[in-house]
Each structure stands twice: as structure tokens, then as C-alpha cells.
Structure 1
């Protein structure tokens, strides 16, 4: 009797593992297809009114390796005239510090006019960043910058909420183990991305319209 129960439990566990694997694989295929043809290296990236920089860990008020890589790409796009303004979106009260303050400071110290930078402190995850970019800041076309393991999901989410988004892959002076860990973590985040779009959930913080980005681009309204 005990052996039969054990076999059933093992069988159920194996079934759950297989199901989870199928879900992850299917979400990876969906993400890749959604982003196909819309991901670029920085030198090949097209022009768009706005470059969205996704926030991540800061250290003592300064961008960490991942974030610095993203900001360096944004700097190039702004300097080349391929983006007119930057939306820096992340957690303004993150566990490692204020991501918005760190990103803004980095861009300004590297020559970007502060009037061209808008910060969203409530981009608490990638879906929230894309949703708020569209609903709160009125973004309809943008470049979105993050590392290669993350960029397809970022593009898929932004396009899923109605933004004509192109992803630009940022570099990172990071170790192999760190990159591998984040690649695995990213694969597990893709099913949630699909669920977020299917349910059309509200972001964690819902705000009224904000016209700062339009003003940064030279529009009055």
C-alpha cells in the first residue's frame, strides 16, 4: 500500500515537472516569435521618439553592471539622435536604492540635458514599465534597452500593450555564472509575462496621465 502511494506521488511529481517544462518552453517560443525582427544591437537600432531604460540593481547610489550597460546604450542612442528623450523606469524605493535617481544622475553626468529625461519610479517590473509607459506617459513608439537574455520579453510585453517597441541589447561586464543564473530566471519569468497580457492586469501603481515626456520631446500637450 505504501509503495503504491509512493509511486503515485512520484508519478504526480514527474507529471508536474513535465507540465512546468512544457509551459516554460511554450512561453519561450511565444516570446521569441513576438519579438522576432524587433531586436537589435545598438549600432543597428532604428530611431524612435523615446528610449526606455529598464531599472535594476544599484550600488551605493551608482548603477550596477547591468544598469550601467543599459544606460551606456541609451547614451549612444540619444547622442546619435535616434531617440529624443529617455524614460528611465524602475523602482524608486528599491532594496538596493533609488534606481531612478541613479539612472538620472548617470545620464546627466554623461552629458544628457535633464529636460530630456523623465523618471517613472513605479516601473516595478517589466510589465508595469510597459503598461505605464503607454497609459501614463502616452508612449506609442519606443526603443527599450536591457540585456540580451531579457530583451525579447521586454519587447513582447511592450508590443503587447500597444507600443511599437524595438529592443536594443545592452552589454554587461558580468561573470558567466551571473549571466547563466539570470538566463534561467528569465526563462521562468516568461509564463508570467503571458499571464499578465492575457489578464490585462493593472500595474501595481496606477497613475493619471503625465505629460512630462511630451514636453521633453517638444510637445505642448
Structure 2
């Protein structure tokens, strides 16, 4: 019996297997590179953090009532701990404000103020649409030179790697273990691409982090400060 009809299927199966193996190899290599080159700069201990200019707090889910979701609340609380301990001088809260009814930076700012951070020490970045935007804008718009990136364990390596690619002397402070570890495995592939190619991001007028953070605020403090 002839098996000529099976030939094309075998060829297709071979191509598919090779493609899957290549994809796995790329993902694995990207993760190894990102984790390995940031391993010495990530800690879960506030006391192990070297003094830096700012704590950078990447945004995450804010609820419809303006209160912080659990992930971003952990980040803000850890950044406040760094500030109180004298490890950082300022906070830069960076997140999504791409539409009028959703505002991560102001919700993070209000929470930091409620925790006792001086208003002039809190800077807001309303164009932190992803981690690369946050880090590149920290350098280009806010003039940050040294920073502690505060985020959950799965995202810490990528965040520090992108911060360094943006020109920052960066460390990472891990707060909690929230986040999707599986999703982060793929995110590191994109992150490595951004760290390598260093694409341009949304710019803007300079807002030096050495100055008064209130000049970066788009609106005054909320009448009701989230607790």
C-alpha cells in the first residue's frame, strides 16, 4: 500500500515540532538572560536596599471607587516603607490614565499621601502604559538616575532589567508574590526585546524629580483619600 499521502503530513508535523521547540528555546533563553543579569539586584528586604533617588511604583488595577487593588496596594505600601526608612527620597507612581474614568497614578498618590509621605515628594506619571514606558519616562522626563523598582516577585527581574536598559541604576524590592508567574514567563521575552531595541516612548516636558512633586499632578488630591 502506498503511503504517498502521508508524506506531506509528516513534513507538516516535523515543521510544527521544530517550531514549538524553537519557541520553547527562545522563551527559555530570554528568561535565563533576564533573571541572571538582575539576580544580584533584587531583594525582599527593605534593609538590604541601597539608598536611591526614588522608589518607582508601576501601576496595576484600581477599583471603580478609586481604591487600590491588592497588587498595587502592596507596591505602594512597600514604597512608603522605603521612604520612611530613608532608603529613597521620592516616590514616582506611574500607571495608566488613558481614559478619564480610570486613573492609577492619582489613586496611588493619594494612598501614599494618606500614609504620611510629604506631597512634594510624590511624583505622578500618567503615561506609564507598560513597564518600559514607566522606566524610560523615569529617565527621560523625570531625570531619575537611581531607583528602587517596587513590584511583586514574578515581575521584579523584568522591571529591573528594563530600568537598567533605560539608563537607571536600578534595584528591585519584591513585595508579596502576587502576579501571574506563567504570564511573566512570556512577558520577559517581550521585555528582553524592549531592553535590546530600546524603542521610543511618549515624551513630554521635563519634570525634574529633584524638584516639587506637586508640579506633576494633573489634579488636586481627591476629596476622599482611599485608605
TM superposition score normalised by structure 1: 0.88
Structure 1 stretch displaced more, 185-194 or 7-16: 7-16
- 2:12 pairs, out of 9, 14, 20, with 9
Partner secondary structure for residue 53 of structure 1: strand
Shift of 1:93: 2.6
2:50 match: 46
Structure 1 stretch displaced more, 55-64 or 147-156: 55-64
1:134 match: 139
Verify: 1:88 aligned to 2:84, yes or no.
no
> When the two structures are aligned, how many residues end up with a matched partner?
208
1:196 match: 194
Which has the larger share of helix?
A: 1
CA deviation string 1:195-218 (max 9, x = no partner)? 112222101x1223222x21148x
Shift of 1:94: 6.4
- Give every structure 1 segment of 4 or more consecutive aligned residues whose post-TM-superposition deviation is greater than 3 Å: none
Partner secondary structure for residue 57 of structure 1: coil
Shift of 1:95: 10
Structure 2 portions without partners, runs of 5+: 214-227
Structure 1 portions without partners, runs of 5+: none
Shift of 1:193: 1.3
1:75 match: 80
Structure 1 stretch displaced more, 93-102 or 41-50: 93-102
Distance 1:35 1:95, change over 3 A: farther
2:217 match: none
Let me know the Cα RMSD of the aligned residues. Answer: 1.8
Verify: 1:163 aligned to 2:168, yes or no.
yes
Asked if the contact 2:165/2:198 (under 8 Å) is kept, the reply is no
1:144-183 correspondence to structure 2 within 5 Å? 144-171=149-176, 179=179, 182-183=180-181
Distance 1:45 1:13, change over 3 A: same
Structure 2: how far apart are the matches of 1:111 and 1:10? Answer: 61
- 1:117 pairs, out of 113, 122, 137, with 122
